[in-house]
A and B are shown apart, each in its own frame.
Chain A
């Protein structure tokens, strides 16, 4: 069975399912805006302070909204036993991981698509640049893949979804630091060349974490 075709079929399935109800994406969006609000109040973000804090606020919000979506996505599979349906099919286990992860990535991307213009407007930071797109994608891919792997683990523990942020966030530190720093430079008017180092770190992080996740996913789902 074609690996890519499997991945694509699973992504399509997740997107189609979400399109029917939209409950997860709505929850993630509302949650993100709420987190934004909390940050704004808690840190009294106005003017220069807002501009300085914007990259951090952006990525913190993405991280939290992300764990929400990741947890939900796998809890849904578990409910009707659908994860068994996937495992019963003659497909590569790592294709299942990638398919689920890319679906999750798409949902997080929707949230980012809303957050970026929102932050730009509210905090007065020029975040709508093509270079920013690259940083956003690179910063989220690794997170989504390892997040899916860890969500698959978390959902099988007593604490279930609650376990996910505990497992995931320490592992996301490299991507978090790199993404925030790069975003900061770009928001200050820097060019893509100025963030080359951070981009390279993100690429290495993504490659390594995706590879390790794909190699170990089979062990997570096979009893």
Chain B
């Protein structure tokens, strides 16, 4: 689904990515960890068509983000620590706007389902600026998947979330439901025990997920594959079930020293 080869990105004298090679299969949930400034955001932004590479090849679903911008945009959903939501609009107005921007038919039922899925149906007429950070991020997830993208790009989505909100986000990301008429919201939003961390990712829709984080435990918790990015190139790439969490923090420390 995602093929990156020799990706280099300079910002003037600053080198953000110095030759990245990465291959992500359809349906994989890959976590990209690395210290601040490693280039994780840059990598995601290139995939999201927001930045052009300096050199190297990037293919998403066989398409080049720099050339076939619109086709790629239709296939990706983007979530970052910024919500990309308009604070002066209501939850519903936000989703409706993006539905128009993505030219979606049957927007109303889809918006209704999504609002229920993220547990915000009751807050649909509230201004986004008035929602808590956790709720905003949940709405942002709804926004990101509104147009049923095959690929999700998540850039430090857990930033600023309290543990409960973080659990809710994890559930949304790893839940096998595809929101079509799902009646129950993820279990922990009803206050019950947190669902065990899912390691299979959202496979059923074949949705591919690439998530960045600088938080190690988070990286090991979600995600089926862990990739470490340091100073603009990949230094570690392993399947999650081949990693021993106890050893990993030591490994990580060495890699990022």
Contacts and interface: CB of A to CB of B under 8 A. Distances in A.
* A–B: direct contact at CB < 8 Å: yes
Nearest to A13: B97
A200 interface: no
Given A9-B97, A9-B100, A88 B48 contact: yes
Size bin of chain B's contact surface: 20 to 34
B64 interface: no
Interface in B142-172: 143
A86 B78 contact: no
Nearest to B82: A81
Interface in A196-223: 222-223
Given A81-B84, A82-B84, A90 B89 contact: no
A80 B82 contact: yes
Nearest to A22: B88
Contacts of A121: none
Contacts, number: 78
Interface string A1-29: 11001100100110011101100000000
B204 interface: no
Contacts of B74: 90
A87 interface: yes
A16 B98 contact: no
Contacts of A89: 73, 98, 101-102
25 contacts: A1-B101, A2-B103, A5-B103, A6-B100, A9-B100, A9-B101, A13-B86, A16-B89, A17-B86, A17-B88, A18-B88, A82-B84, A82-B86, A84-B50, A84-B80, A85-B98, A85-B143, A88-B50, A88-B84, A90-B69, A90-B74, A91-B101, A222-B52, A223-B50, A223-B52
